[in-house]
Amino acid sequence: VEEAVAKLGYRPNAFASALRRGSSRSIGLLIPSQRSGHLAELAEAIEQVFTARGYLVITGSTQHDRMREERLFQSLVDRRVDAIVLAPGVSLATSPAPGARDQLILALEAIGAGHRDVSSIQVDERSDAAFAVQHLQGHGHQVIGCVANSRHTPADGLRIAGWRDALEAVGARAGGELLAMGDTSAEGGYVSTQALLSPHGRPWAVRGESPSALLVTSDVQALGSLSACHELGLSVPDDIAIVSMGGTASASYTIPPLTTLRQDVRWIATRSADVLIDQIENEGKPRSITGVRGNLVIGSSCGCDAG
């Protein structure tokens, strides 16, 4: 019989099995986009970890579009995924999803009211951002600008808050004229940086001294920032020091190499699997892991190499 099975290439029908068992051994992952290196790395880590533990990962790109988020969420629920992971930037994490009911959810971002019984793993973006700014302050910078994301996700807000925390802690300026927001893309970073640093962009002569350093809240945007500085004839790190957030692999190969606050996506993915698979298989309680910190990968864009 076994031979016949092998010979005919028989394969069990996963639907029938899932229909009967009520479980599909799959999880859904909702993520805004795979284009920013950091999210791509996160997605890949999650896929690898869950696959290794026997789950199929179904990924949906939401493009920051609330309609798409809801459609994809429904689609995943309809397919009876065992759980859904919401990556940072998916707004369903902060307001209740319709039809979520007793769907198992793990949010990788600060969760708002509306969802209960949701697990979460929360990076302390605020402290991370402040830490990055402190590093710049350690190099003697006083006036530090911020290139951030224009999406109003919790992470974006927290990074800006952290930037402000560090500045206010030493009594430095932290006004809106030092903050520029744009797309999470190289172009977005380029445009924002131009706006902040170009003599035509902001009348620094009137408003005070121009920034000598920047916190850029994503690595892709930092690419654009470097490009903008280069075009403006500003040398990094001598004229402008830069620290970015993300810690993607290619951040070490920019000119100059970026100093970047790295989030350990592998660790986050592993923890996600621990929490979620415990909930799925052992009916474990929802858990939240908060205060996850990144670590600073030193390049030379911050000025550490100077001298």
Partner DNA sequence: TTGAAAGCGCTAACAA
Partner DNA sequence: TTGTTAGCGCTTTCAA
Out of 252, 267, 281, 290, which residue is the one contacting its own copies (CB under 8 A)?
A: 252
Phi, psi of 111 (to 5 degrees): -100, 145
In the complex, minimum distance from the CB of residue 231 to its own copies, in angstroms, rounded to a whole number: 9
In the complex, minimum distance from the CB of residue 276 to DNA, in angstroms, rounded to a whole number: 20
216 binds its own copies (CB under 8 A): no
Contact in structure between 55 and 27 (CB atoms under 8 Å):
yes
Beta bridge partners of 246: 262
- In angstroms, rounded to a whole number, what is the distance separating the alpha carbons of residues 91 and 199? 36
Size of the site for DNA (CB under 7 A): 8
Which residues, other chains included, contact 133 with Cβ-Cβ below 8 Å and sequence gap of 6+? Answer: 144, 162, 163, 165, 166, 167, 215, 243
Q: Which is nearer to DNA, 19 or 170 (CB)?
A: 19
Count the Cβ atoms, other than its own, within 10 Å of residue 221.
Answer: 32
Which residues, other chains included, contact 94 with Cβ-Cβ below 8 Å and sequence gap of 6+? Answer: 109, 110, 111, 112, 114, 154
Out of 4, 6, 16, 205, which residue is the one contacting DNA (CB under 7 A)?
A: 16
- 30-69 mask for its own copies (x: CB under 8 A)? ---xxx-x--xx-xx--xx--x----xxxxxx-x----x-
Map the footprint of its own copies across residues 134-193, applying CB under 8 A.
185-187, 189-190
DSSP-based three-state secondary structure for 144: strand
21 binds DNA (CB under 7 A): yes
Size of the site for its own copies (CB under 8 A): 57
Contact in structure between 1 and 7 (CB atoms under 8 Å):
no
Beta bridge partners of 56: 26
Binding segment (CB under 8 A) for its own copies, from list 7-15, 106-114, 127-135, 163-171: 7-15
Count the Cβ atoms, other than its own, within 10 Å of residue 200.
Answer: 7
- In angstroms, rounded to a whole number, what is the distance separating the alpha carbons of residues 264 and 246? 9
Q: Which is nearer to DNA, 98 or 140 (CB)?
A: 98
User: Is the CA virtual torsion 117, 122, 125, 130 positive or negative?
Assistant: positive
20 binds DNA (CB under 7 A): yes
Contact in structure between 244 and 259 (CB atoms under 8 Å):
yes
DSSP 231-264: HTT--TTTT-EEEEEE--GGGGGSSSPPEEEE--
- 118-157 mask for DNA (x: CB under 7 A)? ----------------------------------------
Binding segment (CB under 7 A) for DNA, from list 12-20, 25-33, 116-124, 137-145: 12-20
Strand order in the sheet with 56-61: 56-61, 26-31, 83-86, 105-107, 119-123, 288-292
Q: Which is nearer to its own copies, 97 or 167 (CB)?
A: 97
Among its own copies, DNA, none, the one that 21 touches (CB under a kind-dependent 5 to 8 A) is DNA
Q: Which is nearer to its own copies, 33 or 198 (CB)?
A: 33
Binding segment (CB under 8 A) for its own copies, from list 27-35, 129-137, 142-150, 205-213: 27-35
| Site residues (vs DNA, CB under 7 A) | 11-13, 16-17, 19-21
| Site residues (vs its own copies, CB under 8 A) | 9, 11-16, 18-19, 24, 33-35, 37, 40-41, 43-44, 47-48, 51, 56-61, 63, 68, 72, 74-75, 77-80, 98-99, 101, 185-187, 189-190, 220, 223-224, 226-227, 230, 249-250, 252-255, 257
